[in-house]
Amino acid sequence: MPLLMEIVCWSAGSLFLLVLAFLLVYGFIRNRRVAQLWPFALLVVILYALPRLNTGKVSKEGIELTMANYESKPDDVAARADLMIGVARLIKDNPQDAEALTKIAQGLGLLGDTIQALKYAEVALQKAPTSVDASGLVARLDRDLVKLSSLANKVKVSPDDEEARRELAGITSRVKNRGTLAPVALQLVENADALLQQVPTPVAASAAAGSETNIIAAEGLTRAAKDSPDDPAVVRQLDSALVAVQRDTLATPGQMQRAVSVLKAAGKESAAEKLTSQLISKFPKSPEAKAARRSHR
């Protein structure tokens, strides 16, 4: 029953109750029979009972109509109140099927209660993992979980991507701070923690150490070449170090930035430009990439 009708029933019931009370008191004072007032009493009972009779089970179709009504009139106080009452009654029915739980989540989402909406959506998804409505609703309600899933996949594919790992660690921490997590969020957090705890493989660690050694050598030889530009041994060693730097798989934006500086100092502008493009492409959100973009403007 719409809220307006409930208010009308309660108001009319209260009015007739007052009239009945007055007539009863008047009848007793005047010593008159009051048995003929039973229709008033019955009417009062009916008016008060009607709203309560409608507090029973709410159909999923009914809540859909209520949500559609509110969506068409989001500023209508009565439409919002109807939706609040409908959702509350559906929750009170304690439904166990995924469809009804999804309807509750949708209603709560429209009312702005995102946390509770997500809770019901996740329970619905747990009961029906293949439900497109439930999974889509979880995705819309919780952008952090969507981002968490995306970053986890990115780190899984590129475990040496430091920028992605930093972002994943930050968003994982934010989700953890919510307190008790629903199953979907808990699973994503556990997956992210497992990825973040993985250490680089020995091959990757060795490659990273080799790259650092080559960059340090190139930096030192660049300074030596400036001091002794006519020394053929220094020039040969510098050329070899620069070739090694260009061949390395540089694992961090810091290494790439230093390699760019070494190449520029050695006059290898073309190689430096190419490496700068790789830096911007591989680590687009890193401070080094941002600085590189600014220097190109």
The per-residue pLDDT for 5 is 64
Q: Kindly state the helix (H) or strand (E) to which residue 200 belongs, with its residue range.
A: none
pLDDT digits (tens, 9 = 90+) for 45-80: 777 676 655 544 455 667 788 888 888 888 888 888
The secondary structure of residue 97, as a DSSP letter, is: S
- pTM (two decimals): 0.37
Contact criterion met (CB below 8 Å) for 110 and 83: yes
Residue ranges covered by each domain of the chain: 3-53, 60-141, 143-197, 202-296
What gap in Å lies between CA 146 and CA 149, rounded to an integer? 5
- Is residue 169 scored above 80 in pLDDT? yes
In this structure, whether the domain defined by 60-141 belongs to CATH 1.25.40 is answered with: yes
The per-residue pLDDT for 209 is 52
Query: ∠ CA 42-45-47 to the nearest 5 degrees?
Result: 110
